[in-house]
Structure formats: C-alpha cells, structure tokens
Structure 1
Amino acid sequence: MLSRLGFESEKERLLRASQDLYDLVCMYISSTNTIFRILNEHLGTNFPIISVKENFSVKENLQLLVNALKEMQVIVETKDKDVQEKISHSLYAKIAGPITSLQDKIATVKDLYENYKGVLESIMGALIAVTLKHGKLPDTVESAIHQLLNSPALCLQVSEILMDYADIAEILPQIEALSTTKGSSSSRDTPEKVKSRSQSSSSSLLTFIELVLRGHKSVKKSLKIAADYLEEAVRVLRAPCEAFHSFVKMVEAFIPLITDKLQET
C-alpha cells in the first residue's frame, strides 16, 4: 500500500540518510578520541575519552566536539611554539609542511632526533603537536556546522536518528494529523513559532517533521523534504568528516613506523 502511494522511496531515503548522519557523528567522535589517546600518550595530556550523547541533538554533539578540539588546539599550539623556538626554521618548515611521503617524514624526524635529542622533551610529541597544529581540525568541523545552522536536521536528537520502518509508521498518523489540521495561519508561522508549539512533545523527530511541514499538506511531500534536509546535512558533513578521519589515521599510522626507525639509530 505504502509503495503504491509513493511513500516507500521517501522512507528509504529518510532511513538511509538518518543512518548516514548517525555514522558521521560517530566517526567524528571516534577520530577525536584517537587524537586524544595519541596526545595523552606522547604529550602527557589528560584528555578524557568522549562519547556520543544520544539525548543531545546532532548540533549539540558536534558543538561539544568543536569545544573539545579547541581545547586540544590550545595545547598543541603552545607545544608548537616551543618547538619553533628550539629548532631551525628550515627543519620546522619540513615538519609543518604537508606529508608528501612517509620516507620524507621519517628522514625529517631522524634529522630532528639526531640534532635535537635532549633539547626537545619528546621528539614524537613535538612532531605530533606541529602536525596537529597545522591540521586545523576545529576549524574544519566548525565550518561544516556553520553551513547547516538553519537546518532542522541538526536539531534531531541523536537517539532518534536511527529510525526504522516501525518508527516512521508510528509518526505517520501524527504527520497526517498535522497536515490535515494546518490552517491558513499555520502556513504563515515562523520556524520559531512552530518549534515553540512543539516543545511539549518529547519527540525531536516529530518537531523536525512539523518544521518541514510548513506550507505542505501532503504526507509524501513532508517525508521527501525531511529526507532532503537529512541528505543535505550528510552531504555537507561528509567531506570534512572523511578528511578529518583520514588525517587522524595517517597520524596514527606513521607513529609506530617512525618509532621503529628511531630505535634503529
């Protein structure tokens, strides 16, 4: 019946986009925890491992992540300044520059080790701090969030992102009720007014659907627009998230390789 009404494809899009958005939030947090573990081990910091707060919205989770990364950035910038003051400008430029190959990075670190062992408290810590300082991770995440400031998708509570068919079936009658009771005044409501009316509801998903219902009486159209918002959020967040993840995996991968090379010297 749903497929004949055209709901099935919109439901599929909604489910897929919600799963993708959840996966991106988890990937951001997992990558951040990897960086924190590395810093705790090699710089003696004490960053706590963070977790997805499922009772918070997507935006709140990402903002907490940005705040944590900014705290990290303060520490790595302090260490970076210390490194700049203690080593040559040419060697610092090599460390701070893009990693063209692992062999080049190893050669640079060996140079750092041979000439500044004892001058720097931790060769590996210095390398990681300089690399992270120039990675600009907080800016990357914050820029993506800024692009989505007006998206109702980011207001969804994380626990409600992982929808299934049963969840959508449960809210369909509520969507239908909302669409049939919308009067001419409702179409003129601002998002703030709609949100204010919805605050008594414990469902951020229903609030989200109410927001996208503005000006639409069709349930199918509402589901389509909801899927559009989620897919747009995924599109904006995916590229910086994957770049962040790749950067962290690169740092994680070269540490044991460089450590092994240093032990050979």
Structure 2
Amino acid sequence: MQSNKQAQREEIEVDLLCEGIFRHYGFDFRQYARGSLKRRIKNLMDLEGLATISALQELVLHDKQMMERFILNLSINVTAMFRDPGMFAAFRKEVVPLLKTYPSIRIWHAGCASGEEAFSMAILLEEEGLLGKSKIYATDINEVMIKKAKTGIFPMEVVPEYTGNYQKAGGSQSFSHYYTAKYDYARLRPELLKHIVFSKHNLVTDHSFNEFNVIFCRNVMIYFNSQLQSQVHQLMYDSLYRFGILVLGTKESVQFTGQQASYKELDHTFRIYQRCS
C-alpha cells in the first residue's frame, strides 16, 4: 500500500509528465480524469518495464516512438461495427427522416479509433439512400489508429459479432454485401470508404474545423475532468448547425452543461440530442 509521501510524489510525477508532453509535443492530457490517466500510465510502465513515472517521462521526451506508444496506450480504442446496435436503430428512426430533407450532409465522428463507427454510418446511409450526398469526417488523436482506419480492413474473426450487431441495428441486406474477404481479413467496399475522410484532430487543443449536421462523440468525455468536458461540449455546440444532431455515449449527457438549454432530447437511452438554438 502506498504511503502518503509516495502518493504525493506520484502526483507530482504525473503533473510533470503531462506538462512536459504538452510543452514538447502539444498534446494536453493535464485535464484528463486522473484515475483513468494514472491507470493507463501504469499499464504502459508495466509494458515497458519501467519502475517510475519519471523514467517514463525521460523516454517520452527524448524518443518520438515512445511518445507514439504513449498516445496509443492512452487512446480509447474499444470499438466494433454497429456497436450498441440499439443506438443505430434509434438513429434510423429519429434522425434519418430529418437528414432526408437536407441537400447535403456532413457527419463528424470524433474519437473514431480504428474507424468502425464511421464504417457503420456509411453502411446505414447507403441503405437509406443518403450516402451519395454525404461526407463523413472521422477524426482521432492517434495517428496509428487513423492510418489503420484508412485501410478499411478488419479481421474475419470479428465478422460474426459485426453481423449480429448489424442485424440488430436494422440492417436490410446481408452484412457480407459490404465487404470482400481475403484470407483472414475483410475489407470494406471502396465505394463506402470514398465517402469517409480520416484525419488527426485533438479535441483538447484543436478548434472546430467545419459545421456539421450530425456529430458523434461517444464514450470519449467520460475520460475528461469536468473542466475539459465543458470545453469539448462548447466545441461540439460550435460545430453543429442549428437543428443538428449530437450523439453521446450512454454514460454521457448535456445535462448540467452550459449548452443544456440549447438542446432537445430525441432519445434518452442512447443520448441523441438536437440543437434547437
């Protein structure tokens, strides 16, 4: 069990690590939820065989590849196609009729990891006859994940799970219609991928880069402290057209934010909101 002095020293080390990364690389982890941040730091220390956070800091500041591993470890990469299929079913019911009234559609998936949520949206829009007038922007802080997402490749071993999710989400085709299989991997059809733009974007330090009809920011802000959550909520609000749609994770909400009065709740279970002012 840690002594008070050890705990205090560890807090100082975490502060110095985050400050050093911010000043040297421009990535700002200083307002991430402390418990989650420390767990991920310690996990990386175990993987690298390091005894102290200070030792990790030295490597991170002097070795760019170590910094890339740090980012990869801190990024939230748990994803699947049509993950939370009920959300996609609700999206079809509540949001698609609105999108059908627009001449063009821009959708932003913030924190896209390896791209499965954006792949899913491309399939949904294709089935609803909307993909031809849509552009999907998928962004993440993690360049390794962005590079992987651009390939549109996923392992065949996950296809049964993805197929089940797709069916529960209201899919109208055979899921195999949307990919080609080769050996142990599947690749999303190129005509779906061409409607997705993958790029690096840091929700903490970067600004709004467009206006959108829909923004997905699911299961990202739970890892931020309240101040950073407030900052990102403002970014989402500034990036939405009036009557645009914001989709959060099931443990996230616009309640008690500065923008709460500007949204109408369309689906409570799956946290789908419409900006109304």
* TMscore range, shorter length: under 0.3
Give the number of the structure with larger relative contact order, counting CA–CA contacts within 8 Å between residues 6 or more apart.
Answer: 1
What's the TM-score once normalised by structure 2's chain length? 0.26
What's the TM-score once normalised by structure 1's chain length? 0.27
Larger proportion of helix: 1
Larger proportion of strand: 2
